[in-house]
Each structure stands twice: as structure tokens, then as C-alpha cells.
Amino acid sequence: MDAEFYTKLAAPAQTKIVLLVLDGLGGLPAEPGGKTELETAHTPNLDRLAAQSKLGLSQPAGPGVTVGSGPGHLALFGYDPIHYEIGRGALEALGVDFELGADDLAARGNFCTVDAQGCVTDRRAGRLPTEISRSLAEKLRTIRVPGVTFFVEPVKEHRFAFVARAEGLGDALSESDPLKTGVPTLPVRALNPESERAAAYVNAFIEQARLLLAKDSPANMITLRGFNKLPVLPSFSERYGLHAASIAVNGMYRGVSKLAGMDVVPLCGETIEAEFTTLEKYWQEYDFFYLHVKKTDTCGESGDFMGKAAVIEEVDRQIPRLMALQPDVVIVGGDHSSPAVLRSHSWHPVPTLLYSPYVLPDLIETFGERACARGSLGVFPATHILPLALANARRISKYGA
């Protein structure tokens, strides 16, 4: 997508767009010939909306490519995720309103569990309660290494944002998370000469963390991944002329939307129902709303097939509230797929729905992977979603004479 081209065509209008993102929405059957999580869920409201919409399957970064949530969201927001490569660290830090500076190196941290041999037995320390994570973060804040200042900010459950501040830190670093159990955590390696000093600082921090947490259970160790410094994106307002609001509970998603220039609005609560209450509260103040639901991905990564279906059903019950606001355009989709059968993100295209009075509906009366495969949008790049939304919101002017 040529973003500059669309920027030139952006036109003002009194219309409202809602991008509803069910994180990790796409799935697979639990057994051959069965239904996916989305197809299993009872979704009368989404099905009714699907019958009035165009359907398709979106690809965040290309065929066969499994993406993280950062690239997946950038694509949904209309940014080329290959061009704008953003580590998760900066997104986590921005998501908890940490003011990243030019000399700051950020990473996403996990509290984890290791055995007596130092092998990882649980990458998320049982998703320990956030209040325990906060107390452990206080411990980590006592770590001192000459020449660098560290910051540790709890995010939610086992996650925290890690920041190292010193002049001239490179961010080309490997990750300490082995991404599987039964093996030790990894030393952080510099991937270029400019990052060697940063690697030494980070490894010193990790070693002190290991000693500090040795007697804590289940969170007796940490992992760090997604190292990067503060990137710069063209703002959503500059690029598309949209006054955008972000409604998200988890830090990373608040961070990526903030990086795009959206206003991260205060939540009315952390439940799915409360997120829709927040949407209603701010409806008159913005013309674009990004509403993020995390639990679909959480269940997918945990292998909880029926739990993921239940979350989708919970979202479905809120759809009448969304439609009662009379949005001009609604997109329902996801940033990537997270099939419960794989317990991870995957490369499978994501079911996507585009509603507006100006679409010619596909008249497909269900919202699911196989239904979307029959839709007129076909299998398409996720970066096309926003231009289609803008056009249907009458926010793209005519090109040429």
C-alpha cells in the first residue's frame, strides 16, 4: 500500500469507523473435519452483521508468515509491517505510559519459572497475579550496574516493561527467552558491534535478577525479548485525517496505538463489557475507534479451545451495543491467528468482516474461517483494510480528473 498516495486523497467527513480486533481470532479445528473456535462459538449477532457485510481473510505480512501482535496491528492500522519494524519492548513501555527517551533501550519482560538446573518449566510463571508481579518489579528496581540506569514497570500478570538508559546503546540484541520449556534461558548476544555494551549491561541485569528471585515461587527468573529503541511513525492524524481513540486493556496494544498517534482513553473497567461501555462514553469525541480484545489470543496460546469460543461469544453479546451507536463502518477481525490446537500464533489468514451501507453484501450468513474464504474480499493484505474503511466512510477523495 502506498501510504503517501492515500494521504493525498484523505478527505474530511462526519463519519465514524470502528475497528474491533479480537486478538488471535483465526483458528483451526480441534480434530479433522471439525469446526474452528470461531465456527464453534454461538454468534447470532456477528452472523447477522456478516450477512450485511463483505467477508474475506486478511494476511498481516504475507503468505506463510507468522507475525507477532506488533506487526499484525501495524498492518491493521495501515502501516507496512515490513517497513516499520518495531520491537515489542517499546510498545510495552509506551503501553504503561513510560516516557521513552532517545537513549532508552526497551524490552518486554516475562517472569518465568525455572527448575534447579535453570531450565524453563513455565514461560509465564503460571500467569501470576498482577499484584505479585508488582512486588517482584520492586525487587528488580534495586539492581544497580555502573554506567546504566534500569527501569522496571509492571504491565499485567507475568509481564513487565524493561528499560535500560545510557548514551549510545545499540538495540541489535538477541532474546533471552528460548520460547519453549525444558531448556535454559539464553544469554543476550550483540548482533552488531554497536550493541556489545548494551548486551553486557542487560546480561548483568539478568544475572542479578536470577539471584534476587531465586527463592521466589513460581516466578524465580525472568526473560527479556523484543529489544528496540523508540521508533517514529507518521501519526494516524497526519496520514489519514482521523481523530482516533484506542480502547485496550493490555499495555502492548495501548503502546502500538499510542505510537500511531491515537489517544489511549481511560477505561471504564477491564472486562469486555466495560470496553464497550468506554466506546459508548467517548462516541461523540472521536471519529475512529480501535477496540481490542485480548482473551481470544490468551486462550489460543493456552490451548483452551472452548475458552476461546466462549470469549468470542462474549464479544458477540456486545455487538448490539456497537450497532446501536450507528457507526458508518465496522471492521471485525484480528491481528493474527492463534489456533488452540497449535498453542501459538500461526500463519493462517484471519477472518475479516467489513460492514458499511456502501458495501455490496456477500449474503453469507455466518462469520467463520470457511465462510470468510467464500467472501468477495478474498485473501488480501491486512494493510488494505484501512483504505477500504476510509473509502466506505467517504473519507477518500476522487483520484484524477
CA pair distance 346, 311, nearest whole angstrom: 19
Largest CA distance in the chain: 72
The model's pTM: 0.81
Domain segments of the chain as ranges: 3-86+233-392, 99-228
Q: What is the pLDDT along the chain (401 residues), one digit of tens a residue?
A: 577 788 889 999 999 999 999 999 999 999 999 999 999 999 999 999 999 999 999 999 999 999 988 899 999 999 999 988 777 788 788 878 888 888 899 999 999 999 999 999 999 999 899 999 999 999 999 999 999 999 999 998 999 999 999 999 999 999 999 999 999 999 999 999 999 999 999 999 999 999 999 999 999 999 999 999 887 788 888 899 999 999 999 878 988 898 899 999 999 999 999 999 999 999 999 999 999 999 999 999 999 999 999 999 999 999 999 999 999 999 999 999 999 999 999 999 999 999 999 999 999 999 999 999 999 999 999 999 999 999 999 999 999 98
pLDDT at residue 1 in the model = 58
- Pairing assessment for the beta strands 288-293 and 244-247 based on DSSP bridges: parallel
354: β partners: 54, 331
Check if the beta carbon of residue 93 is closer than 8 Å to that of residue 394. no
pLDDT at residue 91 in the model = 79
CB-based contacts of 22: which residues, under 8 Å, 6+ apart? 293, 296, 311, 312, 315, 332, 333, 334
Residues belonging to the chain: 401
Check if the beta carbon of residue 112 is closer than 8 Å to that of residue 224. no
Q: Which three cell numbers stand for residue 194?
A: 554497536
Residue whose cell numbers read 541485569: 205
- Is residue 24 left, alpha or beta, with left meaning phi > 0 and alpha meaning psi from -120 to 50? left
CATH superfamily, domain 3-86+233-392, is Alkaline Phosphatase, subunit A (3.40.720.10)
Check if the beta carbon of residue 327 is closer than 8 Å to that of residue 16. yes
Count Cβ atoms below 10 Å from residue 31 Cβ, excluding itself: 9
Alpha carbon distances (Å) from 180 to 112, 113, 165, 344:
11, 12, 29, 11
CA pair distance 185, 181, nearest whole angstrom: 9
Nearest to 254 by CA among 94, 63, 17: 94
Q: Which three cell numbers stand for residue 255?
A: 503502546
Instruction: State residue 234 phi and psi, 5-degree precision.
Output: -60, 135
